[in-house]
Structures are given as structure tokens and as C-alpha cells.
Structure 1
Amino acid sequence: MELRTTQEERLFREKARTWLEENVPKEPRPPHGREANDHDRAWQRRQFDGGWAGLSWPKEYGGRGLPLDLQLIWFEEYARAEAPEATNTLYVGLNHAAPTLIASGTPEQQAFHLEKILSAENVWCQGFSEPGAGSDLAALRTRAEIDGDDLVVNGSKIWTSNGHYSHYQELLVRTDPDAPKHKGITWVIGQMDLPGVDIRPIRNMAGGDHFCEVFYNDVRIPLSSVVGKVNDGWRVAMSTLGFERGTASMAHQIELTQFVENLIDYARDNPGPDGRRMAIEDDTIRSRLAAARAETSALKAITLLSISRARRGDAPGPEGSITRLFHTELMQRVHRLAYDLTGSGGLEMEGHRGWSRQYLEQMRQTIAGGTSEIQRNIIGERHLGLPRQPVIAKGA
């Protein structure tokens, strides 16, 4: 791709920087709970009203239709301004549901949902994982039987982030129990306040309660809420996960690059854990910071490659797992470095430098959306053409 900066890009960067300087919330984002949800929705609405939401969305769906090159510049300026983190209660709607509806939804579904997602009027969550179907998503057992013009859903989902604050859910259900494992699955728009939906929050190790269990007891969902076709949900779900593992993580990648630069600045200005010298003067810390900077530079190169492929019109594919695997494991290494860098003093940090809490939050990164082991299998089997991992019989 062309890496030279154009006049259009320079002007766009100046406008983005100015708007962010004038509009980024002064108060820190609450770490979790209803307050965090309200904060996220208000900030997204401010971006929507200012014309800075959905930059790369097609114009016919409420976006500005800008190329991903300019979207990347926005992310860079967003991270530079230390705007609220991109991992928030609107992530699923903006980065999963909306792209899936644009790719596979009906005109009626697109007209009703897309602007409400972009303006933060409606919050979405994901109903994919189940107690016995996490990384092995195709093992899901939540049933949906067709009854007239409705699907009648029974079963449960788990690890449903922000389910108790959401209006809608991207829901996978099994509509043909006799079909092969990856067949007979349907992708449905699930309304969270329907009779029979029971949402139970789960508190995590960092003190948040954004994970939820969701139970379905004879929940009736109109067939008009099916995205794609009945029994074609696995294909639709793979496009959803392709967005998650590909360009949807661009903002997080840029945020991580800025976070490393913040760590380097901190190491220059603050004593290390031994208390005798500045942290940057410690050979081990300096080496780890240099490695983190090099790795985030490599991650940005991968991001530019993703943009180049998207510009050619390529849909997200299994190579997105390469990006996701490297990115999530790098996030954990970088936040462990921050934890080690600040020592016990990190426990007193709040706001954007609440690094001990952020370190705990990173533990889920290599589990959510498919474990690191699953990503390695996808890379090996679908990208490198290696034979499938053998199944070991029980008792062997």
C-alpha cells in the first residue's frame, strides 16, 4: 500500500486532533457498572453528533464512507488524545453486529438497527458461548424450534459481556439438531427484554460484573429476526468472528502502541521498583520496554497489511487469527510489564493509569473470542494447510 502522507490525510489528522482536544471527556471513564455504560453511550453519541462515528461505514448505512487509511489516522489521534478506551459496552454492536448486518442483514434489519447502533441508542451483546461450547463454538446446544412465524428458544449462554445493559443480542441457536455439527445453526437478533430471558451478572477477578449468564425459557423470537437464512448461521457467525479477529481490533492495536509510549515516559520520570534509580536505567526494564516498542511496531505493520487487503475488497479470513493471537498475547506481556514497572505503587493508580486493574483485565484476552490454542489451530489448518489436530479417544 502507499505509505506517503497525502494532503487529504494531513488535513483530516488536523481536524481529528482539534475535535478530540475540544471534546474528549475530562473525567475518567468509570471502570465498570451502570456508570461505565452511561459514560460510553454519552461519548459515542457525542462522536455521532459531531460526525466522527462510523467513519468507514458506507454512507447508505449512516457512515461517512471514508477509506480505512483515514480510519487508522482517527485511531492514532484518538489514542494520542487518551480518549476513553475502545473496549467498552458498545464494542459488540459497533464491531460485530453492525458489520454482520451490513454484510448479511435484510434491508429492513439494516434500516432499523444500524443508525441506532452508531448513535448508541441501542447496546448489543453476544450470545455465542455456552457452558459446553466456548472455544468449540459449533458444540452449542441452545435450541430454537420453529412455531408458526416464531423461533421458540430454550437453553443458556455464558460470558455474555454487558448482557444486563444490552437491548439486543447476536444469538446463535441450533435449529436442526439432526444436522452435522457445523450445520443446523441459525444467527438471530435476540431482543433482551423478551419474556423468558433471564440475565444473571458474574463478577470477575478485577471487580467488574460485565460478564453474564443468560437463560432462555420458551423465548419467542420472530423469524424476521434471522440474519441470513435458517440453518445458515455458521457461515454468518464466521463472518462475525472474522470482523472481530481482523479490522475490528485496529483501535485496540493503536491504543496499545500509545500505552507502550506512556510506559516509556513513566520509566524516564519515575524510580524503578528498587527505588534507587529511574526505571529506564534498569537494564532489564529498558530491554523489556525496547522489545515492547518493537513488537507494537510489528503489530502496526500487520494493521497496515490488513488495511491494504481491505482496500482490495478482501473479506476477513483466517489470517485474522494471526493478528488476534499476536495482539492478545502482546497485550498481556505489555500490561505485565506495566505491573512490574510500578510495583506496589501501581495499586494506588487510578484513571488511565490504573495499571494493576488493567493487568487483571487482560487475563481474558487470550480466552474471549477463541483461546490462543484455537487461534493456533485455525492458523495451522486454514492458513498453512496443516493436518487437523488428532482427536484422542477418552481413556486412551
Structure 2
Amino acid sequence: MDLRLSDQDRAFEAEVRAFIAAELPVDIREKVRLDRTLARDDFMRWQQILARRGWFTGAWPRAQGGLDWSALHTLIFNRVAGEMHCPELQVFGPAMVGPVIYTFGTEAQKAKHLPAIRDSSVWWCQGYSEPGAGSDLAALKTQALDRGDHFLVNGQKIWTSYAHFADWMFCLVRTSTEGPKQAGISFLLIDMKTPGVQVQPIRMMDGRHYLNAVFFDDVRVPRENLIGEVDRGWTYAKFLLAHERVENANLRFITQELARLREVAAEVGSGGRRLIDEPAFARELAQVEAQFKALEIGLLRLLSDAQAGQAAAPGTSSFIKIRGTEIAQRITELRVMASGPDAQRFQPDWLFGDGETPLLGPEHALGPVASYQFCRAMTIYGGSTEVQKNIMAKHVLGL
């Protein structure tokens, strides 16, 4: 295994840096740098800038309109994007449902949906978790009755990220109660404008809104929106999970949070000293940076093995998920510590609006608490830490 970047990899990294420096709108960059809430238009503007260069779906095969990025190039892009304060990409289209459609979808489905994903003209959300089916996703109960030319969907999804922005949802539904619970699940594409679809916001402690509950009341979904075969949805869902290895490391988020933390630590404080010059803080920062570097090396090992056609060691993805989320949580704790008492202030017009009131205190103290609160959920969603440890115990230790 070779963990060194090749000349081609370094050239790609330089290309990404130059492109972002030239093309990322200043207003969006400043919003991200200060942890301010992004509007739908902010996300879409940046994604469409990337799409015009082919980078929004860079990891797709060339046959599907992509650039055949390796997993390593995807990692490099995410790392540089985090350092340079780019918005989080909404990956539900390009990294999740897109590969499912071009692998298992019909020609009509490919023609309808893939171009809109490539140019980022359509926003997708994921309909997986339910009130009684989170870590045990196969226990989902949202029902889809087969009516011949359509499915009649009733039920509820929860913790649906950005459903209030979404045009379409890819959704796991129950089409059969016979046999093992995984066997009766189907994979549907649902137009969010369909009558009977209702989105209700779930507001966070700081007032931010990015999660939702989605209700389906006699929603008619055309049969042409079924991916693959009825009752085979669990197969397609497992395929989708194989495309999430890089995302599970939270690389972009951690890189971005570290960049913010370093900026604060390098500033001269009211006492005339920099925080980075305080031995206790410098030790904490060095420790978390070393942990992050170890995570990067572990991820590079995983990607290097995959490119060489070697199967990942059992439990590797679970390990990366655990370490990535724990490191992210620790960095946000350090950001709160670095801001001191200023982190306690709350100015909604600055976080959610145009900043109409005078800024009270340093600008770097606007968002640390919001990031800290957001990170509390990282060790729960996408498979909790406890679930990941059980997976490792089973597949690594044979317990």
C-alpha cells in the first residue's frame, strides 16, 4: 500500500484549490466561515458552479456523464473544500440515489433523473428512518400497497435532512409482511409535490431548521417510480451504503472545523497573547490533529485497498465512522472552549438573517455552540457508535 500522493494527485489538489479560490462566491464563503445558516439558493448556486465543471458528479463513471474520479480524488476534493469554507454538498443526489438509478434503474428513469442530478437542478432527500425504525432500519412500517399502475403510500419518515428544500425523495417502503423483514422492502422515488406528502419542521435547540418529519397520506406513486423489483429494496439500500465510506469519515466537516479552530487560536486575544501559545491548549490541538491525521491514513488505506481490488478488512468502515464522529465532537468542544464566555451569546439575526443588529463580541464566537450541538447527533445517525461496535465485535472478534 502506498499512502503518498502521486504527482497526478497533487496536480488535482492544486487544480481544486485554484478553482475554489476563483469561483466560490464571497458571500457564500463568508456565511460558511462564520457558521451562518445557508439558504437553499446558496447551496444550489455553489453546486451548479461545480456542476458546470462536471465536479458535482465527478465520481460518476464517464458513461453516466461523470469524470471517473477515484475515491482518493473525492477525498482530496472534500478536504480542500473544507479548508476553503465551501458549503456542504447535498450528496443525496450525486452520491446516493444517482448510483442506484444508473445501476438498477430503467432507461426511462435514467433519462429523467440523471441529467437533473448532474446539473444540480433538482434536490433529493432520503426517506429512511422512522419513529420506530432508526438503528433497526429493516423494522420500517411505511406501507406501499400495490395498486397495479401505482403504489398507495401511507406512513411517516423522520429526521429527514432538508426535506423542506427537496424536489424528490428516495424512500424505503414496506410492500410485504411475509418472510424476513428485510425481504418485504421496496425502493421508491417520490415527487415531493405529490398530493398527500406533508413536511413538518423539526427545529433544533438553537432554532435552526434542517431536519423534518415527512408524512404520507394516501400518496399515489406511479409504478414507473419503482427502482428494480418489488421487495428487493433492501438490496439496493445495501448497495447505496457502499458509496458512503468517504462521507462516513466526516472529512470535509472536520477539516472545516479545524480550519476555524486554527484561525481563532492564531488570533491575538485581549491579554495580548495567542491561544496557540498557551501550552495546555496547544497540547489539546496537537492531539486532535494527530488523531485526525491517523483517521486520514486509515481512510487512505481503505481507499488504496479498494483501488487495488482488495476487500476492506472486516469492521474498517465501522471504525472510520466511530473515529470520524468522535474527532468531530472533540474539535467542536475545543471551538467552544476557545471562544470562552463569548460562545454563550446568541444573535439569531446574525445566524439566520442579514446581521441587522451590532455584532456583540468577536465574529468567530457566532457559531461554535451550534456546531457543538449539531455534533452531538453524529455518533447516533448513520448507525450509532454502539451499533458500529457491535458490527466490529461480530465481524472482527467473532462474538
TM above 0.5, one fold?
yes
**Cα shift at 1:70:** 2.9
Give the whole-Å Cα distance in 1 for the aligned partners of 2:22 and 2:207: 32
- Tell me what 1:174 maps to: 174
1:107-186 aligned at under 5 Å gives the runs 107-186=107-186
- Are 1:60 and 2:63 an aligned pair? yes
**AA partner of residue 108 (structure 1):** A
Structure 1 gaps of 5+ residues are 388-396
Question: What amino acid is the match of 2:330?
Answer: R
What is the one-letter code of the residue matched to 2:381?
A: A
Distance 1:96 1:353, change over 3 A: farther
- 2:190 partner SS: strand
Look up the match of 2:331.
334
Deviations 1:275-334 (A, max 9, x none): 585322433322211110111101111221232133135688853222111111211111
Aligned to 1:70: 73
* Distance apart, 1:48 and its partner CA: 1.0
The equivalent residue for 1:291 is 287
Matches of 2:9 and 2:186, distance apart in 1: 42
Cα root mean square deviation, aligned: 2.5
**Which ranges in structure 2 are unaligned for 5 or more consecutive residues?**
346-360
Q: Which amino acid aligns with 1:192?
A: M
Shift of 1:366: 1.5
CA contact (8 A) 2:264 2:364 kept: no
Deviation at 1:385, TM superposition (A): 5.0
Letter in 2 for 1:295: Q
Residue 198 of structure 1 corresponds to which residue in structure 2?
198
Residues 171, 349 of structure 1: alpha-carbon distance in 2 compared, 3 angstrom cutoff:
farther
> Any idea what the Cα deviations from partners look like across 1:135-188, whole Å, max 9, x if unmatched?
111111111111112111111111111111111111011111233222201111
Q: 1:80 aligns with which of 78, 83, 88?
A: 83
C-alpha distance in structure 2 between counterparts of 1:29 and 1:262, whole Å:
13
- Does the Cα contact within 8 Å between 2:187 and 2:226 map onto a contact in 1? yes
3-state SS of the aligned residue for 1:52? coil
Paired position in structure 1 for 2:357: none
Rounded Cα–Cα distance in structure 2 between residues aligned with 1:352 and 1:58 = 42
Question: 1:279 aligns to what?
Answer: 275
CA contact (8 A) 2:269 2:275 kept: yes
The answer to whether the 8 A contact 1:202-1:209 is kept is yes
State the match for 2:251 in structure 1.
253
Match of 2:307 in 1: 311
What SS does structure 2 have at the residue aligned with 1:164? coil
1:40 matches 2:43: yes
Contact 2:253 2:328 in 1 (8 A): no
Out of 368-377 and 349-358, give the one that drifted further.
Answer: 349-358
What SS does structure 1 have at the residue aligned with 2:31? coil
SS in 2 for 1:141: coil
Q: Is the 8 A contact 1:25 1:83 kept in 2?
A: no
Deviation at 1:116, TM superposition (A): 1.1
Deviation at 1:345, TM superposition (A): 2.2
Q: Deviations over 1:168-217 (max 9, x none)?
A: 11101111123322220111111111111111111111321111111111
- SS of 2:13 mapped into structure 1: helix
Paired residue type of 2:80: E
**Can you list the C-alpha shifts for 1:206-259, whole angstroms capped at 9, x where unaligned?**
321111111111111122222232111112212223323x12346x31441353
Other structure's SS at 2:389 match: helix
Q: Which amino acid aligns with 2:289?
A: R
Cα distance in 1 for residues equivalent to 2:4 and 2:288: 25
For the pair 1:372 / 2:369, whether they are aligned, the reply is no
Q: 1:210–1:315: structure 2 CA closer, same or farther, 3 Å change rule?
A: farther
Distance 1:133 1:60 in 2: 36
SS of the residue aligned with 1:214?
strand
Structure 2: distance between partners of 1:326 and 1:20: 28
Q: Percent sequence identity over matched residues? A: 33
2:22 alignment partner in structure 1:
22
Supply the distance in 2 between the matched residues of 1:351 and 1:55 (Cα, whole angstroms): 33
Q: 2:376 matched to which residue of 1?
A: 363
Match of 1:263 in 2: 261
Aligned residue type for 2:306: A
Residues 74 and 366 of structure 1: CA distance in aligned 2, closer, same or farther (over 3 Å): same
> Separation in 2 of the partners of 1:247 and 1:62?
21
TM-score (ref. length: structure 2): 0.86
Secondary structure in 2 matching 1:183: helix
From the superposition, tell whether residues 187 and 309 of structure 1 become closer, same or farther in structure 2 (CA, over 3 Å). farther
Q: Structure with the greater relative contact order (CA < 8 A, sep ≥ 6): 1 or 2?
A: 2
2:396 paired with 1:384: yes
Cα pair distance change 1:354/1:41, threshold 3 Å: same
Whether the aligned pair in 1 keeps the contact of 2:58 and 2:69 (CA below 8 Å) is yes
Look up the match of 1:99.
99
3-state SS of 2:160 partner: coil
Q: State how far apart, in whole Å, the 2-side matches of 1:165 and 1:17 are.
A: 29
Distance in 2, matches of 1:208 and 1:58, equals: 36
C-alpha distance in 2, partners of 1:101/1:321? 26
TM-fit CA distance, 1:353: 6.7
Task: Please tell me the residue identity of whatever aligns with 1:165.
Answer: F
For residue 92 of structure 2, give the secondary structure of its aligned residue in structure 1. Answer: helix
What is the one-letter code of the residue matched to 1:257? T
Judged with a 3 Å threshold, the aligned counterparts in structure 2 of structure 1 residues 320 and 141 are, in CA distance, closer, same or farther, namely same
